[in-house]
């Protein structure tokens, strides 16, 4: 009888110790997990690959392999304007100028 009682107490004490981290400081309590962690989402600016302008037609830009005209969107970025050497895209109130041939040449 005493052996059964001792085995039951040992089993109960092991489950009680498993609920608490033995390496935690005294009096430490785990923070509630009710608030999700906010993550910063960064969107990659499209890559300008080519600009095609006709003699009397509007210009098209090739961004990420897709032909787009002014006003169209790609990956959440709106193509605002297309010039012969650069395009401007905007997202969330910010604007980017994507050039075909940057002025800086690295050697």
Instruction: Write a three-state SS string for the chain.
Output: CHHHHHHHHHHHHHHHHHCCCCCCCCCCCCCCCCCCCCCCCCCCCCCEEEEECCCCCCCEEEECCEEECCCCEECCEEEEEECCCEEEEEECCEEEEEECCCCCCCC
pLDDT band at 102 (very low <50, low <70, confident <90, very high): low
Which pLDDT tens digit goes with each residue over 45-100? 999 999 998 887 788 999 999 999 999 999 999 999 998 889 999 999 999 999 98
Mind listing the pLDDT tens digit for each residue in 17-49? 556 677 877 777 766 666 777 888 788 899 999
Q: Is the pTM above the cut of 0.75?
A: no
């Amino acid at each position: 009888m005493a052996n059964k009682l001792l085995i039951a107490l040992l089993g109960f004490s092991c489950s009680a110790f498993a609920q608490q981290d033995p390496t935690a400081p005294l009096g430490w309590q785990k923070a509630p997990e009710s608030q999700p962690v906010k993550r910063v989402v960064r969107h990659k600016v499209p890559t300008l690959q080519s600009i095609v302008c006709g003699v009397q037609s509007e210009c098209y830009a090739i961004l990420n392999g897709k032909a787009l005209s002014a006003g169209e969107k790609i990956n959440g970025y709106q193509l605002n304007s297309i010039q012969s050497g650069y395009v401007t895209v905007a997202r969330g109130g910010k604007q980017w100028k994507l050039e075909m041939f940057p002025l800086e040449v690295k050697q």
